[in-house]
Each structure stands twice: as structure tokens, then as C-alpha cells.
Structure 1
Amino acid sequence: MFRLYDSSTGFHPFDTLDTQPSTSQPSKMENIDTSHLPHQTLKDIGNRLFASGQFQEAVRYYTYAITKQPNISSYYSNRALSYVQMQEYAKALPDCRRSIELDESNLKAYFFAGQAYLGLGQWEEALTKLVHAHSLALEQHRNFGDEITSVIRLAKRKRFEAAEEKRMQEEIALQVYLNNLILQDTERQRQAILSANSRGSVQSAPPNSSSLSVPDYRKNGLLNSDNLSTSPQSVPEVVPAHCPSELSSCPDAMTASSSVQVHAVEKEPVPTGNSPLSAEVQQQLSELSAKAQKRIAELNDLFAQVDARRQAREVPEYLCGRISFELMLDPVITPSGITYDRRSILAHLRKVGHFDPLTRQPLTENQLIPNLSMKEVVHAFLEQNPWAENY
């Protein structure tokens, strides 16, 4: 549970993520006449209501206090935290901004603004406010332990997860697109094979009736649609003159010498693209299908490998510095036994003061000792997770 203690007001705000409201209930205050109460008293009533978990009532009394004295920064930050507890993050942000306008050193206003942005899913804004709150805590020599830094790590993790989710969706879309390209290319090649096979079948087919020479009969109108009957009675009209009049007596003559064989044409249609495929064409189509399946399998396997590597993308907290919250590329250890990143602890000693930021014990630069064991651990982690360089 996170607590930020305000020594000027005696106010103990709780972090919205882990707070469990108290079961104790203060006396009913709905009928209290607040017109004669000073703003400080109204703020104190709001604090007690907040501590008991009555956040909506706390907001009401903070509002009374603000109405009577609108120029006190902590009143706005207290009300902002009440909104954060109720997860009304959009309402908390204006109070945080107003609190910062009145007092730029109010680190709680930055901290609560960071929590509000975190609740709204605006990770970059959240980190900006939270890191600023942490910097103010160091400048003001106020020790909140791991309260602020733990929320910073949470915000960084959320930002990282959001970026990974976006990247994953983009990769899924790319995977689908590439699979479709393979299928479309395969279909184009398949159609080309079938088209070539169809053209070859047409070229090798015997001539059909439209190519036969029948000038005399066309001139006489004998080859109209009415005369192209398959019945025996109609056939003698188109048989040659040397055939006897009785069709039944010369079937062989019809087959052997006639230049127009209607029945033969109808019984032996010209081969088309729907004709049975040759063994060679079937082999080509089979190889084409196998090649496409292999390409799709290799592509999907490649994306699966990327997913497997991504699952472990999280920097353990013990590898992150206590000041920068980033991977400790050059870890050093202090006499107190705490490890920091060298760049971060040197910046602290030069800008803030010569003391350990966590234990508050005196500390100078020449007391920093390289933590070689931790450096080996970090190096091994980077070998297996090169993405962590930019974490």
C-alpha cells in the first residue's frame, strides 16, 4: 500500500491501486451547517472522510474548503486523489493542474496526475508526471521509499505492453497479407497452367463441323437448323447422290464416303478446358500446391518464433536502478549494500547531495564500488534479450 504523508496538513493520501477503504464510519455530517466553518476545518473533515473510504463525501468537503479559500494548492491535490480513488481520472486532472499552478513544488499533485494519466491509459503523460514527482522528492529530501518508483515501474511496464500489443497487431496484419500474396500468386500460376493446357487441347483436336466443306448443301439451304435432326428420316436429305434412297441399306456408305456426318460430330465433341488433365499437368499442379504450402508453413513458423521471443520481454526489477528505473548497465554498490547505476547515482550526488538516496547515509563518489557480479548478470540478460537495450 502506498502512502504519501503531507507534514503540513497531516494528510495521508493512499494510492488508488492498492487501497482498501476503512470499515469505520465517522459521524454523519450531511446536516452540518458549513457556512460558519473555516476552510481549514472543512479540509480536516474531508481528510477524515477520505480516511474512512467516503471519497464522494470527502470531495464535497474539499470543495467547500476550496470555495472559501481557492488559493491553497493542497486542497486541490487532496480532492484530486479522491477522484483517483473513485477512478474518475478525468476529473482529477484539472485539480492537479490547478494545484501545480498554485505551487509548482507540490510533488503530490504531480504524483496524483501521473496516477490519473495511468488510469486513462496515457502512458507517456503518466511517466512525465511521475518522474517529475520523483525528482521533486529527491530535491526536497523527502523519502517515500519505493512508493513513487514502484508506480513509475508500473507505468513503464504498461507503456511497454501497449507498444508490444500494437506491434503484435501490425505483425498479424502483415502475416495475413503475406499469406494472401502467396495464395494469390499460386492461383495465378495455376490458372496459367490450366490455360496453357486448354490451348494445347484445342490445337490438337480434330476439326469440327464448322470447318467442313459443304458449299452445295449450304447453298441449297439443307444445313439449316431444321434439317440438323438426328432422326433417320431427316438424314437422307443430306446424304450423297450415290447412296441408295433407303438409309438402312447403306450405313457403311454413310460412314465411309459422306462429307457431312452430323451424328459423328455430335457424339465426339471437341476437347475443351474441362477435359481430363494429363499426368504432366496434374504433376505441375501438385508441385505448385506443395510449394505454396511449404512457403506458408515457413512464413507462419517465422512469425511463431518472433512471438516466442517476445513472450519473455520484461526486464526484471532487480536489474533496474533505484533512481533511473532503467537497466543498470554500469552497476555500483554503496557501503549500505544498495546497488545503483553509476550514471544515476553520480548525478544524484552532484545535483542533490552527498547521501544515499534510500538510506540517507552520507555517501561520496569514492565510496562507490563496481558491482561486478551484477554487471555479469546484466550482460548475460542482454545477450539473450537485446531488445532490453531500449527498454
Structure 2
Amino acid sequence: MVSRNFHRISEDKNDDTYSNFLYRTAHTKSAQPRFSVEGETQRSIEEVGRPKRRHGTGACERHHAGGAVETRWKERLDAAIDAYTEAITLCPDVVVYWTNRALCYYKMKNWTRVEEDCRTAIKLDSSSVKAHYMLGITILERGDYTGGIKELEKAFELGRAAKPPGCLAEDIWQELAKWKYKEWELLSSKRTWQLQTLKDTCEKALLEHHFLDGHQSEDEIKEVSKDVVDQLEMLKEVFNKAAEDDVLKEVPDYLCCKITLEIFWDPVITPSGITYERRALLDHLQKMGKFDPITREPLSSHQLIPNLAIKEAVRGYLEKHGWAYRMS
């Protein structure tokens, strides 16, 4: 699955060396269309994208036009891959070349090549957010939830730990939450089936223990022994309790931001003692004014402190209630 916001994971800034390289290759026939600078590379990869709607043309014409755009889009990706491959040949220790080429393969859904380039990038720089992110998505595409989610979690922690927090952290969190919820769905279905099977087995064993074949009516069971009914009710309560964590319910208010009403992923506390989601509060300070949304007291961004207690509480809650990732 390709994140809708992944276009922000593009070529690294201040890459002057490679910008010059791209500028030189831009004037060769093999490098057309031009990938002169980083921004142009990003435009070429992202904006050419998909066929534009053409009004007043027939379906056949639109089909051919769309195919032509798709072809040009692929050609530009191929040109970018060739440029980054040449850069890697010249400077194999520069991480950004590997991650940028991996991004091109990512857009082509060539997962094998994405994994190869990302693993090489991580060997060169274990703190590469882009490499861990794309590697995580690639592993998830293969159906390995455990390995893929581990890489996404690593990318998220690296992005969130950046000073200031990386702009990719929110996008990675959304992707991570989506896959964690999918993982919970699979595990929850398996647990539900296992519990139901075990419950049926226990009930059958209990009835056989009291010399009943399980076909009696409730009244007949009561006549034989009230203890049997009590034990069956207790058994039912035990299994309902075991399935409680997989039952969807409201997330506790103290784990949710008072602005977004969503579960926290980067909680910060203000001098007034109120906790907010960082991105939501910063957006408020920028657009509405420098004051606390609830207390209306003066507030600036440098006064915000990470609420580690709430952050840990959220982590524990999500670990136990995987369905809550859908509330993110």
C-alpha cells in the first residue's frame, strides 16, 4: 500500500553535489526530460503522475492520451533511476542516492529493488527515516506484518525524535496505525475462533461430566442440577472477559486530544497542565493566536513540553486494544 502523503518523502535538501550532477546529466539525451535540480526531480516524478481529464474527447482518445502520459511518467522514473545509479557508481557511500533511487522503485512498486536499496542505505546510515519507512512498507507488501511494522515503528521513532520533530512523523504514524489495525483484525479473528472453539469444548466436557449429552432443554438441565447451570453461566462470563480487549469501545478521554478528539501520538503539555496533540496545538497557535485553546492564557510553542506519561499510557493502551489504532 502506498501512502497518499508519501510524496513528501523525496530527495533530501541541500544536496548540492548531486544537484550539480543532475544538472550536467540534464543536458544529455539520455537524461531527458530534464532532472536539473532536486525540485525538478520531485516535480517530474510526482506531478506527471496520471492522465489528465480531457473534456470533449471520445473514450478512445482519452484512453490513448492516458496511455501516453503513463508512458512518459515511466520514462521519467527510468531516467531518474539511471541518474541515481550513475551517482551511486561515482559516490556509493552517499545515503541519499540510495534512498532516492529506492523511492523511484517504490513508485513503480518494484518491491525487490526497494528492499535492496533501503537495506544498503540503512547499513550506511541506520538513522535514515526514509529507508526504514520504505523498507517497512515493502515488507508489509509481502505479508510480513511483524517485520514491516517493526521497520515503520523505527521510522516513526526516528522522525519523532528529530529536533524539531520531522515533518514525516505524522504521515508515518498514519501508515503505521493503518497496518497495526490490519494486524489486529487478523489476530482478533484468530483469537475469536480459538475462544469459541475452547468454550464449546469446555461446555461439552462439563455436560458430559454430569452425564448429560447436551441435547436437554434448559428446564431439564435445571432439574438435574442447578450447579450445572451456575457453572455454565460462570464459564460464559470467563470467556466474555477473555474477549473483552477485542470489543470496540470508546477510548478514554484522557488519552485523546481536546482539539482533534483523536488518540494522542505526540502529546505535549502546556504550563496550565492541559495536554494536547502537538501538531493540532501548533496549528492553533499559528492560525488562531498565541493562547491556550481552553484556558485562554498566553502560550507560545517554546513552552510546550512532551507529556511522556500520557505517551506511555497511550502505548500501553494500544498494545492491549489494537482496534484503537482505527481511532487515530
- With normalisation by structure 1, the TM-score equals 0.44
Corresponding residue number in structure 1 for 2:174: 150
Answer yes or no: is 1:48 the counterpart of 2:44: yes
SS of 2:206's partner is helix
Report how far residue 97 of structure 1 moved. 0.9
- Describe how 1:139-178 pairs up with structure 2 within 5 A: 139=162, 141=164, 143-144=166-167, 146-178=170-202
Amino acid at match of 2:47: A
Corresponding residue number in structure 1 for 2:131: 109
Aligned partner of 1:7 among 13, 26, 31: 13
- With normalisation by structure 2, the TM-score equals 0.51
Report how far residue 311 of structure 1 moved. 1.6
**Which one has a bigger Cα radius of gyration?**
1
Amino acid at match of 1:139: A
C-alpha change, 1:33 and 1:139, in structure 2 (3 Å) is: same
Amino acid at match of 1:182: L
1:107 and 1:133 in contact (8 A); partners too: yes
Amino acid at match of 1:98: T
SS of 1:48's partner is helix
Answer yes or no: is 1:132 the counterpart of 2:154: yes
C-alpha change, 1:84 and 1:335, in structure 2 (3 Å) is: farther
Q: Percent identity over the alignment?
A: 18
1:24-77 Cα offsets, whole Å, 9 max, x none, are xxxxxxxx952x789965986686144323575455334322432322433432
Q: Give the whole-Å Cα distance in 2 for the aligned partners of 1:46 and 1:312.
A: 41
Q: Give the whole-Å Cα distance in 1 for the aligned partners of 2:85 and 2:275.
A: 47
Aligned partner of 1:312 among 233, 244, 248: 248
SS of 1:132's partner is helix
SS of 1:76's partner is helix
Report how far residue 155 of structure 1 moved. 4.2
Amino acid at match of 1:48: S
Q: Where in structure 2 are there 5+ consecutive unaligned residues?
A: 17-27, 50-69, 214-219, 258-262, 279-298
Report how far residue 121 of structure 1 moved. 4.4
Corresponding residue number in structure 2 for 1:361: 301
1:164-208 Cα offsets, whole Å, 9 max, x none, are 33432331231232234235445xx369xxxxxxxxxxxxxxxxx
SS of 2:133's partner is helix
Q: Give the whole-Å Cα distance in 2 for the aligned partners of 1:285 and 1:168.
A: 27
C-alpha change, 1:129 and 1:334, in structure 2 (3 Å) is: farther
State the aligned residue count: 241
SS of 2:301's partner is coil
1:114 and 1:129 in contact (8 A); partners too: yes
Corresponding residue number in structure 1 for 2:86: 68
Amino acid at match of 1:69: A
1:93 and 1:113 in contact (8 A); partners too: yes
Q: Give the whole-Å Cα distance in 2 for the aligned partners of 1:93 and 1:314.
A: 38
C-alpha change, 1:167 and 1:9, in structure 2 (3 Å) is: farther
Q: Give the whole-Å Cα distance in 2 for the aligned partners of 1:181 and 1:84.
A: 54
1:39 and 1:65 in contact (8 A); partners too: no
Report how far residue 148 of structure 1 moved. 2.8
Answer yes or no: is 1:303 the counterpart of 2:229: no
Amino acid at match of 2:9: L
> Of Structure 1 and Structure 2, which has the larger fraction of its residues in helix?
2
